[in-house]
Amino acid sequence: MKPNPDLRVRLIDLRSKRGHGKRHSIRRPRASLTAAERRQVLGKTSGRCHICGGKVEDEKWQADHVMAHSAGGTHDVDNYLPAHATCNNYRWDYLPEEFQFILKLGVWVRTQIERGTTVGNSVASAFAGHEARRVKRRILGSGKGSTSN
């Protein structure tokens, strides 16, 4: 089955726009937020991750740029919202429309997997393989530079 050419073209176009913004962005030094600024950012969402809505229960959350700095966003407290590290890493610096497509596709694929459709089974199998390789890379990568006794 061939992908819908309109959706494929739209996704490629969005990726291109994101890449174009990166090429023309000016790298600005990023200063760490003070403890007071971090409390202010966390208070904006009542201690919840702005991406998944889950409770941020420790100090390992990240201040996520609302407008990515690669797209011209500032490093001001007004441009940050709290996010779990995992959520922030998955959101990356996608354009809002691009991230909405990712979420919609993810929900649709999840439904296909739950229903046991041919597409769902195929995606589930491919994703399981991808995750296994990703985890293996992380485990192997975490051992770099360490010595064993």
Residues 110, 79 within the same domain: no
State the residue range of the domain holding 132: 96-142
pTM: 0.63
Asked, for residue 3, whether it belongs to a domain, the answer is: no
Q: Within 13 Å, how many C-alpha atoms sit on residue 84's CB side?
A: 12
Phi and psi angles of residue 119, each rounded to the nearest 5 degrees, phi first:
-60, -45
Q: Say if 114 falls within a structural domain.
A: yes
Q: What's phi and psi for 56, nearest 5 deg?
A: -90, 110
Position 146 confidence tier, pLDDT thresholds 50, 70, 90 = very low
* Helix (H/G/I), strand (E/B), else coil: 115: helix
Instruction: Answer whether residue 68 shows pLDDT above 80.
Output: no
How far is residue 58 from each of residues 42, 43, 73, 85, measured CA to CA in Å? 11, 14, 26, 11
Mean pLDDT for the stretch of residues 56-71: 84
**Residue 79 resides in a domain:** yes
Which of the two residues, 60 and 111, has the higher pLDDT score? 111
The CA distance from 65 to 112, in Å, is: 33
- CA distances (Å), origin 93, targets 72, 84, 126: 12, 15, 25
What is the tens place of the pLDDT at every residue in 73-101?
888 999 999 999 989 988 877 877 888 89
Q: What total of structural domains would you count in the chain?
A: 2
Instruction: Please compute the mean of the pLDDT values over residues 42-59 and round it to a whole number.
Output: 92
- The count of residues in the chain is 149
Same domain, 15 and 45: yes
What mean pLDDT comes out for the span 124-133? 94
101 & 136 share domain: yes
Per the domain annotation, does 47 fall within a domain?
yes
Residue 67 lies in a domain: yes
Q: Is 101 found in the same domain as 73?
A: no
